[in-house]
Amino acid sequence: MADKDYTYSDVSSHNTKKDLLVVIHDKVYNASSFVDEHPGGEEVLLDVGGQDATEAFEDVGHSDEAREILAGLLVGKLKREDGDPAPSSSAQPTATQTKGPDAAGLGIGIYAIILVGGALAFAAYKHLQAKSESSVKL
């Protein structure tokens, strides 16, 4: 039973509490027996019922114990076909990569503003100082 091949549409029809399949890393798990015991609540599992739950599962940072439980729920593997949604976890790295340069650009901008602002403030201070010195002499 654990080496059955499922298509994405096979899995998608099993999305109820009594009949709950989830896909994690292209493997298919039957979470029906575990849904009531899930420490994270049944709601989150039902939300991903019949779908690819890889990202949701990995985002939580589940423990090794959770992964052992998961291994016990294995019923088969996912056979991807043309037109199926892409594995959800593969979209993540690109999203974080594009974030990097943006954040760095903003950081440099802020430094530039502080530097120019500081230089202007210093010039104004010097100017006022020179002015008050010359008025004392008069």
Can you say whether the dihedral through the CA atoms of 24, 27, 32, 34 is positive or negative?
negative
Q: H or E segment at 3?
A: none
* 91 vs 115 by CB, closer to ligand HEM: 91
- Minimum distance, C-beta of residue 39 to ligand HEM, in the bound complex (Å): 4
- Report if residue 53 touches ligand HEM, rule: CB under 6 A: yes
Look up tokens 């010097």; give the residue: 126
Which of 1, 3, 18, 39 binds ligand HEM (CB under 6 A)? It is 39
Least distance in angstroms from the C-beta of 94 to ligand HEM: 21
How wide is the angle at C-alpha 105 spanned by C-alphas 100 and 108, nearest 5°?
130
Tokens of 54: 């890889």
Among 12, 42, 44, 84, binds ligand HEM (CB under 6 A): 44
Q: How far apart are CA 31 and CA 81, in angstroms?
A: 23
62 binds ligand HEM (CB under 6 A): yes
Per CB under 6 A, the list member of 52, 56, 76, 88 interacting with ligand HEM is 56
Burial tier of 45 (Cβ tally within 10 Å: 0-12, 13-18, 19+): buried
Q: Which residues bind ligand HEM (CB under 6 A)?
A: 22, 29, 31, 34, 38-40, 44-45, 48, 53, 56-57, 60, 62-63, 65-66, 69-70, 73
